Chain A
């Protein structure tokens, strides 16, 4: 399964990638922002997306909306991983099409639990 990690912080990209590897997902593509992620989606088959919210060029929320409005990728599940945790943000993410939501800093257990529940 190929996972696309969309995250502007190089530190977080590295941590998420390592965590995914630890819980059994070795194939990971990386993008620094929503614009780069859309380009990746255009040329690489992606099965799952993990995205941050606060990013330059295109926010994670706008990125989700763009993915969900595209017939080709709308089926790809998206997990939001962000520091934002107020109710309004969570609801907005779901409204946009996120499949689940994780608050940073996260633990590998939470990431595994959310991924398992989305992919079951």
Chain B
């Protein structure tokens, strides 16, 4: 459109069009200025998710090392319990002191076994934290996709990186397990009552 064409419009329309063009140009300039940070941010996402996946892998590895040790302790304590019981059975009735000592060994072995088992139970945190990390990673990957879609709108061509499929419960937590199990048990009871009432 030439200046001559513009002059054929009423001046208020021309002013409005000029202001609109200026606003669009300002927006383009602004977007160009944030383009680099957007590219940088989208490039950082795969680095962050890779690091977080590394945390999961390392934690899993360490957890299995601990489980190896715990299983070893439990096996040895079970063996101690068994052998000490054999010794106890072979003792004469008047060997009271030895009997008490062997009974103490059995008690300690049982306690160590129970404690080891509680340690094993606590290792469930690894599965739960890995689900939490997977959740965080999936959010980061969503952000990356949105940023790249934004850049594509400006005509840039970007390759979406391949994301591994993630399986997690977004609400996975180690907190309040007793309360959550009680709630579930209540739901089960209600369901059973409803079934009986039918």
Chain A residues within 8 Å of B, Cβ to Cβ: 8-12, 14-15, 18-19, 22, 53-56, 59, 82-87, 90-91, 94, 100-108, 110
Q: Which bucket holds chain B's interface residue count?
A: 20 to 34
Interface pair B169/A15, CB less than 8 Å apart? no
Give the distance to chain A from B87, nearest Cβ to Cβ, in Å.
25
Contacts between chains A and B (CB distance < 8 A), count: 92
Residues of chain A contacted by B41 (CB below 8 angstroms): none
Q: Does B28 contact A (CB under 8 A)?
A: no
Interface pair B64/A103, CB less than 8 Å apart? no
User: Which residue of the partner chain, among A11, A91, A100, contacts B123 with CB atoms under 8 Å?
Assistant: A11
Q: Once the chains are docked, how many angstroms separate the CA of A87 from the CA of B181?
A: 11
The SS class assigned to the A binding surface is mixed
Q: Once the chains are docked, how many angstroms separate the CA of A68 from the CA of B130?
A: 30
Interface pair A12/B124, CB less than 8 Å apart? yes
Q: Once the chains are docked, how many angstroms separate the CA of A109 from the CA of B191?
A: 22
Show 10 A/B contacts (Cβ-Cβ < 8 Å), sorted by A.
Answer: A10-B64, A83-B169, A83-B171, A84-B169, A85-B183, A94-B191, A103-B177, A103-B184, A105-B128, A107-B177
Residues of chain B contacted by A54 (CB below 8 angstroms): 131, 167-169
Residues of chain B contacted by A18 (CB below 8 angstroms): 71, 117, 120
Q: Does B127 contact A (CB under 8 A)?
A: yes
Interface pair A90/B120, CB less than 8 Å apart? no
Complex: chain B residue closest to A84, CB-CB: B169
Q: Once the chains are docked, how many angstroms separate the CA of A103 from the CA of B191?
A: 17
List residues 164-198 of chain B with CB under 8 A from any CB of chain A.
165, 167-169, 171-174, 177, 180-181, 183-184, 187-188, 191
User: Which residue of the partner chain, among B127, B181, B183, contacts A110 with CB atoms under 8 Å?
Assistant: B181
- Give the 3 A-B residue pairs with the shortest CB-CB distance, closest first: A105-B124, A83-B172, A9-B127
Interface pair B167/A55, CB less than 8 Å apart? yes
Q: Once the chains are docked, how many angstroms separate the CA of A12 from the CA of B165?
A: 20
Interface pair B64/A15, CB less than 8 Å apart? no
Q: Once the chains are docked, how many angstroms separate the CA of A84 from the CA of B168?
A: 10
Residues of chain A contacted by B191 (CB below 8 angstroms): 91, 94
Residues of chain A contacted by B128 (CB below 8 angstroms): 83, 104-105
Interface pair A11/B188, CB less than 8 Å apart? no
Residues of chain B contacted by A14 (CB below 8 angstroms): 64, 67
Residues of chain B contacted by A105 (CB below 8 angstroms): 121-122, 124-125, 128, 174, 177
Give the distance to chain A from B54, nearest Cβ to Cβ, in Å.
16
Interface pair A22/B117, CB less than 8 Å apart? yes
Q: Once the chains are docked, how many angstroms separate the CA of A76 from the CA of B19?
A: 73
Residues of chain B contacted by A85 (CB below 8 angstroms): 171, 180-181, 183-184
Residues of chain A contacted by B187 (CB below 8 angstroms): 87, 90-91
| Given A11-B63, A91-B191, A94-B191: A56 in contact with B173 (beta carbons within 8 A) | no
Complex: chain B residue closest to A117, CB-CB: B188
Q: Does B53 contact A (CB under 8 A)?
A: no
